[in-house]
A and B are shown apart, each in its own frame.
Chain A
Amino acid sequence: MSLETPGVTAVAAAPRRAEERVSRGLWSDAFSRLLRNRPALVGLICITAFIGVAILAPVIAPYGPYEQRTGGRLEAPSAAHLFGTDLLGRDMFSRVLYGAQISLQVGVIAVLMALVMGGLIGALAGGLGGWVDSVLMRVTDVLLAIPGILLAIGIIAWLDRGMLQLMLAIAVTYVPIFARLLRGSILALRESDYVIAAGAVGASRLRLLVRHMLPNALTPLIVQATLILATAIIDIAGLGFLGLGPPDPRTPEWGTMLVDARRFLQTAPHIVFFVGGAIVVSAIGFNLLGDGLRESLDPRLKR
Chain B
Amino acid sequence: MLKYIVRRLLATIPVLLGLSIVLFAFVHLLPGDPCTAILGQRQTPAACARLRENLGLNDPLYVQYLDYIGGLLRGDFGASVINSKPFFDEFSVRFPGTVELTVAALIFAVGVGIPLGRLAARHAQGWIDGLVTAISLFGISIPVFVLGLVLVLIFGVTLGWLPTQGRIEARAGFEPTTNFLLLDTALAGRWDLFVDVLRHLILPAIALGSIPLAIIARITRASVIEVSNEDYVRTARAKGLTERRVDDRHIMRNAWLPVTTVVGLQVGGLLGGAVLTETVFGWNGVGRWVVDAIGNRDLTIVQSTILVFALIFLIVNLIVDVGYAFLNPRIRYS
User: Which A residues have a C-beta under 8 Å from some C-beta of B?
Assistant: 138-139, 141-142, 144-151, 153-154, 156-160, 230-231, 234, 237-238, 241-244, 255, 258, 261-262, 265-266, 269, 272-273, 275-276, 279-280, 283-284, 287-288
Docked CA distance A83–B146 (Å): 17
Q: With the chains together, A255 CA to B275 CA distance in Å?
A: 14
The A interface is mostly helix, strand or loop, or mixed, namely helix
Q: Which of A258, A272, A284 contacts B137 (CB 8 A)?
A: A284
In whole angstroms, how far apart are the Cα atoms of A159 and B29 in the complex? Answer: 11
17 more contacts with CB within 8 A, not counting A149-B273, A266-B157, A269-B157, are: A146-B306, A146-B309, A149-B276, A150-B272, A150-B309, A153-B302, A156-B294, A158-B26, A158-B299, A234-B141, A238-B145, A243-B291, A272-B149, A280-B141, A283-B142, A284-B137, A288-B137
Chain A residues whose CB sits within 8 angstroms of the CB of B291 once the complex forms: 153, 242-243
Residue of B nearest to A141 (CB): B15
Interface flag for B290 (CB, 8 Å) = yes
Which residues of the partner chain A approach B273 to less than 8 Å between Cβ atoms?
A: 149
* Whole-angstrom distance between the Cβ of A87 and the nearest chain B Cβ: 16
Number of interface residues of B (CB under 8 A): 46
CA distance A113 to B144 in the complex (A): 25
Bound-state Cα–Cα, A269 to B146, Å: 12
CB under 8 Å from chain A, chain B span 156-178? 157
B297: chain A residues within 8 A (beta carbon): 157
CB proximity of A30 to chain B, nearest CB, Å: 22
Provide the bound-state CA to CA distance between A148 and B140, in Å: 15
A255 to B143, CA, bound (A): 10
CB-based nearest A residue for B15: A141
Interface string of B259-292 (1 = CB under 8 A from A): 0000000001101110110011000000000110
A157: which of B14, B138, B275, B302 is its contact (CB, 8 Å)?
A: B302
List 5 A-B residue pairs with CB atoms under 8 Å apart, sorted by A's residue number: A146-B313, A275-B146, A280-B142, A283-B141, A284-B141
Whether, in the assembled complex, B195 has its beta carbon less than 8 Å from a beta carbon of chain A, the answer is no
Of all chain A residues, which has the CB nearest B270? A147
**A-contacting residues, B64-92, CB 8 Å:** none
- Note all chain B residues with C-beta closer than 8 A to A145: 15, 19, 268, 310, 313-314
| Interfacial chain B residues near A280, Cβ < 8 Å | 138, 141-143, 146
B18 near A147 with CB under 8 A, answer no
A158–B146 touching, CB < 8 Å: no
A149 contacts B272, CB within 8 Å?
yes
Given A158-B30, A241-B276, are A150 and B153 also a contact pair (CB < 8 Å)? no
Bound-state Cα–Cα, A156 to B299, Å? 11
Contact across chains for A279 and B275 when beta carbons are under 8 A apart: no
The answer on a CB contact under 8 Å between A153 and B275 is: yes
Residue of A148, A156, A272 near B146 (CB, 8 A) is A272
Other-chain residue from B276, B306, B309 in contact with A238 (beta carbon distance below 8 A):
B276
Query: Is B241 part of the contact surface with A, judged by Cβ < 8 Å?
Result: no
**Distance between Cα atoms of A244 and B292 in the complex (Å):** 11
